């Protein structure tokens, strides 16, 4: 089944690194899109279905945690799986964003194996 | 609360973790007591607040920054790299090293709130936190080719 991935990070370099690491993990997406901020991400989510969204936490204007809350208000995004990707690793933050609707959390530095572990349950 | 010697160790171990996992470049502590990073350089900084307040900075020459960006992005070494990508990569280095430092200091300094990184380029770049600031600093050799500096300027917050 065709899968779409959305990578949200204010750093273009980090989006490329995430995309490269996803490819190295062996996970196969039919379509990969990028967004440089939360507003752009919401536009992409409204425009078409996204299966998995990889989302930075620490972003200007709209943080990743705020974006999760906004995504969960969108009726067409109930099935979108949200995996946070961040250098932040406090349990308080992880618990909070998971309670708000995220489905997983990957801490930087990350490896292809970590993406495989966290994303593969949502690939079928 | 936090001693400078252990902070130097925290900085070095954090840099090793990031460079081994995300940059794929070897690094070691430099014994070179030289001056500033020579020539045009990039300075990536990120601020933090909490029980410790201050700024982490990573400073390296432009050729070193380009080599780091090429490795992080998995590009061919002969490929030209955009200035924006190079700056972005150095900002991410500051961001990820700060994340690792924060994790390692969690027990002694509690949760530190971290800003978004910023990067400037120029000559003889230095970060400054005014009077009374303490500084932990390590000079780091990357691939035995580039000497860089990683530093942490901070005040202990008694509030």
ipTM above 0.90, yes or no: no
Q: Is residue A7 predicted with pLDDT exceeding 90? A: yes
Contacts with A87 from chain B: Cβ below 8 Å = 95-96, 98-100, 102, 114
Looking at residue A90, its pLDDT comes to 87
Compare all CA atoms of chain A with the CA of B87 and give the residue at the minimum distance. Answer: A13
Strands (E), B3-159: 27-29, 40-49, 52-61, 113-114, 118-123, 134-142, 146-156
By residue range, what is the domain housing residue B70? 4-156
Per-residue confidence (pLDDT) for residue B85, from 0 to 100 = 92
Which CATH number characterizes residue B12's domain? 3.40.1550.10
Q: How far apart are CA A104 and CA A30, in angstroms?
A: 21
Chain A residues near residue B21 by CB distance under 8 angstroms: 109-111
| DSSP-derived secondary structure letter, B22 | I
> Pick from B22, B84, B103: which is nearest to A89 by CB?
B103
The tally of domains found in chain B comes to 1
Q: List residues bridging with B43 in a β-sheet.
A: B59, B120
Mean pLDDT of B26-49: 83
Non-local (6+) Cβ contacts of B38 within 8 A are: B61
In whole angstroms, give the CA distance from residue B17 to residue B62. 22
- For residue B67, which of B144, B149, B146 has the smallest C-alpha distance? B146
pLDDT at B159: 61
Express each pLDDT in B61-85 by its tens digit.
999 999 999 999 999 877 789 999 9
List the 74-113 stretch of A: residues with Cβ below 8 A of B: 86-90, 92, 107-111
Q: Which residues contact B130 (CB under 8 A, 6 or more apart)?
A: none
Report DSSP letters for B104-125, one per residue: HHHHHH-PPEE---EEEEEES-
pLDDT above 60 (res B35): no
How many Å lie between the alpha carbon of B35 and the closest alpha carbon of chain A?
Answer: 30
Task: Provide, as residue numbers in chain A, all residues whose Cβ is less than 8 Å from the Cβ of B88.
Answer: 11-14
pLDDT, tens only, B77-120: 777 899 999 999 999 999 999 999 999 998 888 888 999 999 99
Which residue from B126, B122, B124, B121 is spatially nearest to B137, judged by alpha carbons?
Answer: B126
pLDDT of residue B31: 80
pLDDT bucket at B55, cuts 50 / 70 / 90? very high
Distance (Å, rounded) from C-alpha A77 to C-alpha A82? 10
Identify which of B74, B85, B98 has the shortest CB distance to residue A87. B98
Residue B153 clears pLDDT 60, i.e. is over it: yes
Listed range (A63-77, A80-94, B3-17) with the worst mean pLDDT: B3-17
Q: What is the pLDDT of residue B91?
A: 96
A31 close to B (CB below 8 A):
no
The band of B3, judged by pLDDT with boundaries at 50, 70 and 90, is low
pLDDT score at B5: 61
| pLDDT-derived band at B12, boundaries 50, 70, 90 | very high
Please, are residues B114 and B105 in contact by the beta-carbon 8 Å criterion?
no
CB A105 within 8 A of CB A76: no
Tell me the average pLDDT of chain B: 88
Domains of chain A from N-terminus onward: 4-122 (3.40.50.2300)
Least CB–CB distance from A87: residue in B69, B72, B95: B95
Q: What is the distance in angstroms between the Cα of B18 and the nearest Cα belonging to chain A?
A: 6
Q: What is the pLDDT of residues A39-78, one digit of tens each?
A: 999 999 999 999 999 999 989 889 999 999 999 999 989 9
pLDDT at B4: 60
């Amino acid at each position: 089944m065709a899968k779409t991935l959305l990578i949200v990070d204010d750093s273009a370099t980090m989006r490329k690194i995430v995309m490269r690491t996803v490819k190295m993990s062996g996970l196969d997406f039919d379509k990969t899109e990028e967004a440089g901020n939360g507003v752009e991400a919401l536009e992409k989510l409204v425009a078409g279905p996204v299966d998995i969204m990889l989302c930075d936490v620490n972003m200007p204007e709209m943080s990743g945690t705020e974006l999760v809350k906004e995504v969960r208000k969108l009726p067409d995004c109930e099935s979108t799986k949200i995996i946070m990707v961040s250098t932040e690793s406090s349990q308080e933050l992880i618990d909070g964003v998971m309670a708000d609707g995220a489905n997983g959390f990957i801490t930087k530095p990350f490896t292809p194996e970590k993406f495989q572990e966290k994303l593969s349950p949502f690939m079928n | 609360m936090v001693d400078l010697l252990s902070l130097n160790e925290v900085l070095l171990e954090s840099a090793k973790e990031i460079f081994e996992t995300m940059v794929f470049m070897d690094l070691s502590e430099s014994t070179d007591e030289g001056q500033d990073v020579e020539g045009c350089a990039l300075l990536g900084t990120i601020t933090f607040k909490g029980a410790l307040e201050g700024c982490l900075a990573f400073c390296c020459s432009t050729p070193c920054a380009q080599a780091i960006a090429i490795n992080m992005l998995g590009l061919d070494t002969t490929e030209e790299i955009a200035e924006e990508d190079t700056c972005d990569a150095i900002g991410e280095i500051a961001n990820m090293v700060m994340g690792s430092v924060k994790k390692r200091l969690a027990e002694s300094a509690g949760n530190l709130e971290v800003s978004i990184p910023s990067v400037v380029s120029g000559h003889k770049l230095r970060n400054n936190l005014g009077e009374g600031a303490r500084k932990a600093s390590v000079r780091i050799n990357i691939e035995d080719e580039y000497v860089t500096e990683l530093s942490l300027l901070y005040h202990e917050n008694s509030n």
